[in-house]
Structure 1
């Protein structure tokens, strides 16, 4: 696909999770000097890199998908798959006879709620939605360039190397999608780790109820922690651990489950994690650019120009302001910063 290749001499603008905030995305692109040419946003010297999760939750999912796909097909952007695009493929793909399932991703109350806005906004455009589902297969799971890397949630070099060897590239196909429905399979581990991140099981009897009401027995972990000692050293999620749990020392077995990102590796960019506050690198070569735009946070980009050490002053963003009505977003009000 033309949008997946571009000269490394260009600057890159890596853009965080959009979740249907199309107006906010337009504000951010405008702020960074992208302009519409023949209906498609482009920059004369730079290329946008979308970190995935274009769909679900927000008010203008269809518009956001068209804008992003047009840029990718035109070559003014590239993209990696988010867990929400993967979830949509599973939700809308029928399982094979004998599998015991109707769809690859179960149609339960939680999954119905996560994709509700997307399906509602495409209700009168079913052919378009089917075309976007087909397009999702063309989205790579990762971008691996000499000067930077991008993946939605976690860079696991071993899994990525094995995936390249088995798939011959960075994209999944229908066979891999079906295989990934079994979480314990290689395909399941690839999709869960790269698109949702790594985790550790909480101590026996300990559970966390997240802000979304979902009760979890695992917590998400950093893939770049150096010599961690306690749970607090590796936790990486919006919901904090109870203080007594955060102070617990990691066992050797738990430490062996963690992965690390080498200090000598190219900068890697992720989204996914609902960050808050002022954007800054997590490590000299690791940055998260998801700052909860659809929850009235920030839509963030990092403007990369080949540097190996990431800098706080290379982040740009648009603040998303809450409309006066208290209900779930039906409009976006954003202020560039």
Structure 2
């Protein structure tokens, strides 16, 4: 993709929002963004949203309007998250003969995940349809001279193949339909870039997650250096049983695990529900999802031209209970 970077511009890369609009306003103001003509702007910097604006949180509609206004006025950019992709599939009817009504099945789990979003747009159906169309304009990734951004995983081979086949970083409705088949190229692109890489649990094992979901696969680090055991590559909130974590990976599994080279430009992801104090995962890899909607932190990284990421470039706002009724600070009360 052609670089849009100017020498004086910095980027503020912001993690998963999930409807925490008030907290997002706090974070933007903390970083010196001022609301002018209804849109948050910074004189020298541009925000980059890492996706997952919708679902789960209390102010999804407000968050979408805030983010879209920034993107349309050039004060921000955005990549698609798996929740925006899920919404497209949930709201798009399958083609005749497919054997299903919608691309994303309307089962109990999927209904629950999108419930808050649909309820908050219940009286604004025209707006929701406009946002669904807007989701198609979100690229799956951003690649600049000094950084990369993708919601869950940077897979160089898949990204180059996708660009060659699509001609841009965005999907269209045909690609959405094709991606409903997970084993297809389209399905692999969307699953890997927006949800990450995974491995099956050994011996047909399954584990139940904190949210009651039974898992037979676990998400893996795409930046692990020389992993030897399952514990070296697992990357999800629910830990593996200790006996599984200690089990050695097979040579086939080790060969198949994706790696992000240490000499590549920094890459930023969200998606993974981190906890604790924000810090780089590696000198050139950072996750910015710190569980904002679970009363964690809404996190940004203030990137300039550095090739090695630094802990002191992370900024964040703790999400208080309730996100929900606090008033954003005035411009005079926040340091720029």
Does the CA-based 8 Å contact 1:201-1:217 persist in structure 2?
Answer: yes
Counterpart mapping for 1:287-302 below 5 A: 287-302=286-301
**Alignment RMSD (CA, Å):** 1.6
Q: What are the ranges of 5 or more consecutive residues in structure 1 without an aligned counterpart?
A: 324-328
CA separation in 1, counterparts of 2:203 and 2:115?
Answer: 34
Q: Which residue of 2 aligns with 1:230?
A: 229
Does the CA-based 8 Å contact 1:322-1:332 persist in structure 2?
Answer: no
Does the CA-based 8 Å contact 1:321-1:333 persist in structure 2?
Answer: no
CA separation in 2, counterparts of 1:265 and 1:251?
Answer: 27
Is 1:312 aligned to residue 311 of structure 2?
yes
By how many angstroms is 1:330 displaced? 5.3
Does the CA-based 8 Å contact 2:142-2:149 persist in structure 1?
Answer: yes
By how many angstroms is 1:7 displaced? 2.9
Counterpart mapping for 1:1-337 below 5 A: 5-7=4-6, 9-323=8-322, 331=325
CA separation in 2, counterparts of 1:91 and 1:29?
Answer: 31
CA separation in 1, counterparts of 2:327 and 2:203?
Answer: 44
CA separation in 2, counterparts of 1:8 and 1:90?
Answer: 39
Quick one: structure 1 residues 160 and 9, their matched pair in 2 at CA, closer, same or farther if it must change by over 3 Å?
Answer: farther
Does the CA-based 8 Å contact 2:48-2:76 persist in structure 1?
Answer: yes
By how many angstroms is 1:212 displaced? 1.2
Quick one: structure 1 residues 190 and 179, their matched pair in 2 at CA, closer, same or farther if it must change by over 3 Å?
Answer: same
CA separation in 1, counterparts of 2:297 and 2:149?
Answer: 19
Quick one: structure 1 residues 232 and 102, their matched pair in 2 at CA, closer, same or farther if it must change by over 3 Å?
Answer: same
By how many angstroms is 1:205 displaced? 3.7
Secondary structure of 2:268 counterpart: strand
Aligned residues: 329
Does the CA-based 8 Å contact 1:182-1:188 persist in structure 2?
Answer: yes
* TM-score, length basis structure 2: 0.95
Q: Which residue of 2 aligns with 1:326?
A: none
CA separation in 2, counterparts of 1:333 and 1:134?
Answer: 31
Secondary structure of 1:280 counterpart: coil
Secondary structure of 1:36 counterpart: strand
Does the CA-based 8 Å contact 2:222-2:260 persist in structure 1?
Answer: yes
Q: What are the ranges of 5 or more consecutive residues in structure 2 without an aligned counterpart?
A: none
By how many angstroms is 1:9 displaced? 3.6
Quick one: structure 1 residues 243 and 332, their matched pair in 2 at CA, closer, same or farther if it must change by over 3 Å?
Answer: farther
Secondary structure of 2:77 counterpart: strand
Secondary structure of 1:204 counterpart: helix
CA separation in 2, counterparts of 1:277 and 1:128?
Answer: 36
Secondary structure of 1:200 counterpart: strand
* TM-score, length basis structure 1: 0.95
Deviations for 1:74-103, whole angstroms, at most 9, x for unmatched residues? 000000000000000000000000000100
By how many angstroms is 1:8 displaced? 5.3
Quick one: structure 1 residues 307 and 22, their matched pair in 2 at CA, closer, same or farther if it must change by over 3 Å?
Answer: same
By how many angstroms is 1:334 displaced? 9.0
By how many angstroms is 1:219 displaced? 0.4
Deviations for 1:7-31, whole angstroms, at most 9, x for unmatched residues? 3541000000000000000000000
Deviations for 1:257-293, whole angstroms, at most 9, x for unmatched residues? 2110011100000000000000000000000000000
Deviations for 1:118-165, whole angstroms, at most 9, x for unmatched residues? 000000000000000000000000001110000000000000000000
